[in-house]
Amino acid sequence: MPKVLEFKLPDLGEGLTEAEIVRWLVEVGDVVAIDQPVVEVETAKAMVEVPCPYGGVVTARFGEEGTELPVGSPLLTVAVGSAEGDLPEDLSDKGTDGAESSGNVLVGYGTGAPAARRRRVRPEAISAAAAPVAEPAPVPVTAPAPAPGPVPAPVSDEASGPVAVVSPLVRRLARQHDLDLRQLTGSGFDGLILRADVESAIRAAANGTAAAPSVPVPVSPPASSPTSAPVAGERIPLRGVRGAVADKLARSRREIPDATCWVDADATELMAARAAMNGAGGPTAGPKVSVLALLARICTAALARFPELNSMVDLEAREIVRLPAVHLGFAAQTERGLVVPVVRDAQSRNAESIGAEIGRLTEAARTGTLTPAELTGGTFTLNNYGVFGVDGSTPIINHPEAAMLGVGRIVPKPWVHRGELAVRQVVQLSLTFDHRVCDGGTAGGFLRYVADCVEQPALLLRTL
C-alpha cells in the first residue's frame, strides 16, 4: 500500500527564508528517483536545483512557476512504496526505505535518520475513521440569514476528523475563505484535495454568492485624505535578488553608523605596472591581470596593516569580532541585479590568483550559477563603480561587514607631478566604514596606504 510523503522546501542555507519557483522539472504522475532534481528555484542568492529525497510517483505539485514559497512550505507529494503494479519495480522494491538513504543532505532531510512522513488519507478511511468518533450525524451550522449558494456554513475541518488534505497551505486557504473541505472532491492522487480544488471552490463561491454574508469580503478603509489614496503606477514586487538587496541595505542603514572618507590618487604608475605584467612574453607570461585584481591585492595588504576594518560587530555580545581571514567580496552587476561574489582567503593569494578567481565568479554571476556559499561570508567588499563612468560614491556597507572600498573611473586629469603640471591617470578612492570598529584615524590610515600603493605599486614588494 503506497504512502504519500510530503517534500517541503528545504532550508537552502545561509539564512534564506523563501525561494521562487523558476521551473518545474517533473510533472504530476512522473516517476522520480531518490535525489533526482525536481524543481529549479531562485533564492536571494542564486539559482538552485532542489533534489527530492524520496523515490516514487509525483502526486501533486504546490505552486506555479513564478510563485514564491517560504522555507518549510510543501513543494510536492510523492507516493512511496506500493501494492503490486502501482510503481516501477526499481522503486517499489525500495519502498519507504529508499527515502531514508538520500545522498543529498538537505536541512530537515538528513541521511542518518528516517525522514518525517505524513500518511496519505484515503476517502474510504476518512468515513471509517470518523464514524466511531461522531455518534450522531453532524448537523450543518447555518447562519441566521443564509443566502443561497454552494458555499456551506463555516465548519472547522479539524473538528470532525481527518480530511484528504496533505498541504497545510490548502487548509489555511480554506479556513480563510470559510470553506468546509468535506464538501470538496479532490482531484489529486487517490482523492487528495489540492490547492487548485480549493481555489476553484472559491471562484465558484464568488460567482454564485457574491452577496452572501457568509463569504467575507475585504473592505478597504475609507480614505481619510487625498494623500492616502493608492499611488497609481507600476508595482514591482520586492522579492528575489532585488528584495534581498533591499533588506540588507536597509538593515545596514539602520544598524551601522557609517562614515566615508575619500582621496584622489595618481594611478599612472599602477597602470604602467599592469601594462608591463600583461606585456610580458615567453615562459614568464601568464594570464592577463585586471585593474580590479591589483586593487584587490592592495586591499589585502592594507587589511594586514589595519585589521580593525576586517571585522564585524556582535550586537548581542556587544563585542567587535576581528576576523583572521580576508574573504573579499566584489560588487558585480548582472541581469538579475547586484550580487557580491566572494573570493575566499584572499590574503593568501597573489594578484594573478585573485584575478583568476574574480574571472570565474564573474562568469558564474552572469550565467546565474553562483551558489549561496559563493555569495556569502564576505569580510570586506571592493566596489568598482568606475565601470559605470562615475568618479565617486558613498556606498552602503555590505552588512555585517565593517567597511567597503569604492573605486571611481581612472581618467586623464591635470596633476602636479614632481613639481610640474602634467596630465596623469587619476582615480578617486572612497572608504565607507563602520565607526563602531575604528576611529577616523584608522580609516584614514587605511585609505592613505591604499592610495600610496596605487601611486607607487613598488610598495607592495614589501609584503610579497
Q: Are strands 420-434 and 47-52 parallel, antiparallel or unpaired?
A: unpaired
Q: Is 327 a catalytic residue?
A: no
Q: Are strands 337-339 and 332-334 parallel, antiparallel or unpaired?
A: antiparallel
Own/partner long-range contacts of 193-198 (Cβ < 8 Å, ≥24 apart): 193/163, 193/164, 193/165, 194/60, 194/167, 194/170, 195/62, 195/167, 195/169, 195/170, 197/170, 198/170, 198/173, 198/174
Residue 319 bridge partners (DSSP): 314
301: nearest Cα among 461, 443, 456, 431: 461
Q: Which of 177, 399, 417, 435 is catalytic?
A: 435
Q: Which residues contact 374 (CB under 8 A, 6 or more apart)?
A: 46, 341, 342, 361, 364
Q: Are strands 56-61 and 380-384 parallel, antiparallel or unpaired?
A: unpaired
Helix (H, G, I), strand (E, B) or coil at 386: helix
184: nearest Cα among 207, 209, 157: 157
Report which secondary-structure segment, H or E, holds 68: strand 68-70
Instruction: Give the Cα separation of 83 and 85 in Å (integer).
Output: 6
Give catalytic residue positions: 435
